[in-house]
Amino acid sequence: MLCVAGGILQLPVVLLLISGEHSIWRDAALAFSTGVAASAVWWAFFSRYAESQGKDFLERELTQQRATLSLELQLNRKLLVEEMEEGAKRWRDSGLPRDIYAATEGFDLRFNHDLTEDFERSSRYYFCGRSGIYVPARIILRDRRAPRRLEDVRLKVIDPLGVVAMDQAIRDRRGRENNRSKSDDELRAEIVDHLLMTIVGLWHAREHVRGTIRVWHESTSVVKRIELFEHAVYDANIDGRGTTAFPSTGCWAAGQPGYTRIGGEFDRKDQASASLEISVSTERRELDKHLERLGCDPGRFDELWERYRSKYLQRMEKGLPRARALEIVEETRALEEIGSG
């Protein structure tokens, strides 16, 4: 604006100072002043226009940036919420069992199908419970075509000479419907017989294990029944609150917190009052010595094995094929239902 005012005001000054109609100096000064005034007017207009356009440009950019930022915030907020929900779901699922099996009095086909499948994919079998009466039968009847050889078997069972362990076992067993009329002595004899048959059965099962079978007798009460494999662990509470022969059981897959927590229990041997290692190289006198320690005459070996074979091994021989075929039967039924529909 100052340039415009200066260019216009210099015209009358030039006309007053320079006289003569045809003075060359007057014409030159007049032309110069006119050019300065015109240029000043043009630049004033251009700068004003440029300022206006620049302001509009900045406002458009700011508006666009706000819109972009708002969209990104909405997308990031949505992604953040989805990530939090997915994380919460993973943590929730990691704490839940892979499957749950209801308590039952008889041979549960679904439970035995799943457990056998995990067993035959595993090179180790860890058991914790009162007697482990079915463990030898599972080892003997394990599919020889299984992809993994069985190398490490561990059992934590009660010590029949442990007062605390036996008292707890008797209370638990009395809680079952079919045992409430039995005396403590009868229940004690049954528990001891199961332990002895388990040891004898493991001796016959040693040829099916490439490595070693380790047995630890616990002097304290054993209130859980656990079967752990490489890919899963089956945990049943047997603290006496259930009245069925086979309590409800939860199964956790390897990698879940439950699997890690339960697996650590087989590294503790501080409560073991006696132990036995069985392999193909173990001498028979080691077994006899252990049986004597449990209060059993080694001369009963054949009798105990015959009882185990007829009562438990034959029962599993009949049940496991049906359990293995369960998936095929269910698939066949599903196809038949689809075809009939």
Q: Write out pLDDT tens, residues 99-144.
A: 999 888 889 999 999 999 999 999 999 999 999 999 999 999 999 9
> Residue 164 domain-assigned?
yes
Same domain, 136 and 36: no
Same domain, 185 and 114: yes
Model-level pTM greater than 0.75? no
Domain count, the chain: 2
Same domain, 213 and 167: yes
pLDDT at 86: 57
Same domain, 299 and 160: yes
> Residue 83 domain-assigned?
no
> Residue 84 domain-assigned?
no
Same domain, 286 and 195: yes
Mean pLDDT for all residues in the chain: 81
Q: What residue numbers bound the domain in which 27 lies?
A: 2-70
Same domain, 202 and 140: yes
Same domain, 251 and 151: yes
Same domain, 34 and 127: no
Question: What does the pLDDT look like over 222-242, one tens digit per residue?
Answer: 878 899 999 999 998 754 466
> Residue 340 domain-assigned?
no
pLDDT at 289: 97
Same domain, 184 and 62: no
Same domain, 114 and 60: no
The CATH number of residue 201's host domain is 3.30.870.10
Q: How far apart are alpha carbons 208 and 316 in whole angstroms?
A: 16
Q: How far apart are alpha carbons 105 and 94 in whole angstroms?
A: 30
Q: How far apart are alpha carbons 226 and 234 in whole angstroms?
A: 6
Instruction: Classify residue 250 as exposed, middle or buried by CB count within 10 Å of its CB (0-12, 13-18, 19+).
Output: middle
What is the C-alpha R_g of the chain? Answer: 45
> Residue 250 domain-assigned?
yes
Question: What does the pLDDT look like over 240-294, one tens digit per residue?
Answer: 466 777 888 999 999 888 888 887 777 766 678 899 999 999 999 999 999 999 9
Same domain, 108 and 161: yes
Same domain, 9 and 130: no
Q: Given CA atoms 106, 229, 119, 135 in this order, what sign does their dihedral have?
A: negative
